[in-house]
Amino acid sequence: MPVAMNPPVEPAIRIEVSQINRAPIEASGLADGALLDLEHDRFAHADGPISWSFRLELVGPDILVSGSVSAPLSLLCSRCARFFSTSVRISSFFRTYGWDEHPEVLDLSEDVREDVLLEIPGYPVCRPDCKGLCPQCGGNRNEVDCGCVPPELSGDASPWSALDQLKWGDAPQGAAPDK
Ligand SMILES: [Zn+2]
Ligand SMILES: [Zn+2]
């Protein structure tokens, strides 16, 4: 087996803090995307391990944590309704924790999850020029040129104009019994 170049993927983002004293420590690693708890989300899914890198510093009774996170995600395009792969990056994660509450190990999973979810765009698009779905036939306009003409451009300004063509009095008599 080849030697693994990447750190192992851990189920949570946990950092040993008992080793911090005067000097700040740097820590980094990979955490399972499952900690984002998106399995049942309709619009976003984890798409691989989250990579994180933090600096921990003791200031008085507090541990100051700063750093960055990158989470690969699969998001539903708000225009064409397909999932696409992207990464949410947090370049300035910052939190303060009381050292007396976390004397041994600091678990950052929940706070990282919170920041990643806040960073997911409200209306993600798979690419800036995504043409989306045709409102008439539902075709993906990135893939097919369905040729549908929007109603406001087809010359019939009103959706009721088709009804004007019907002569209501005529319609049922064609099927009248011949007796
Ligand atoms: Zn799209
Ligand atoms: Zn169409």
pLDDT, position 21: 75
Q: Which ligand is nearest to the CA of 150?
A: 2
Rounded Cα distance between 143 and 132, Å, is: 10
Question: pTM of the prediction?
Answer: 0.77
List of residues 6+ apart from 59 with CB closer than 8 A: none
The whole-chain average pLDDT of the chain stands at 86
Q: Which ligand is nearest to the CA of 130?
A: 1
What do you get for the CA distance between the two ends of the chain, in Å?
90
Position 160 pLDDT exceeds 60:
no
Q: How many angstroms is it from 139 CA to the middle of ligand 2?
A: 6
Cβ–Cβ under 8 Å, residues 65 and 97: yes
CA of 83 to the centre of ligand 2 (A): 21
Tokens describing residue 152: 């406001």
Q: Locate 100 and state its tokens.
A: 């007396």
CB 54 within 8 A of CB 108: yes
Alpha-carbon span 80 to 127, nearest angstrom: 10
**Which residue(s) pair with 44 in the sheet?**
75
List, for residues 119-144, the tens digit of each pLDDT value: 999 999 999 999 999 999 999 999 99
Q: What's the CA-to-centroid distance between 134 and ligand 2, angstroms?
A: 5
pLDDT of residue 149: 85
The pLDDT value recorded for residue 111 is 98
The model's pLDDT over 14-63, given as tens digits with 9 standing for 90+, comes to 998 887 877 899 999 999 999 999 999 999 999 999 999 999 999 988 99
Measure the CA angle with vertex 46, ends 44 and 48; round to 5°: 150
Could you say which ligand is closest to the alpha carbon of residue 138? Answer: 2
27, 67, 69: which is closest to 46 by C-alpha? 69
- What is the reported pLDDT for 70? 98
Going from the Cα of 36 to the center of ligand 2, the distance in angstroms, rounded, reads 37
Task: For residue 77, report the distance from its CA to the centre of ligand 2, in Å.
Answer: 18
Q: How far is the CA of 135 from the centre of ligand 2 (A)?
A: 7
Mean pLDDT of the region 151-165: 58
Q: Does pLDDT of 3 surpass 90?
A: no
Tokens 């699969």 -> residue: 74
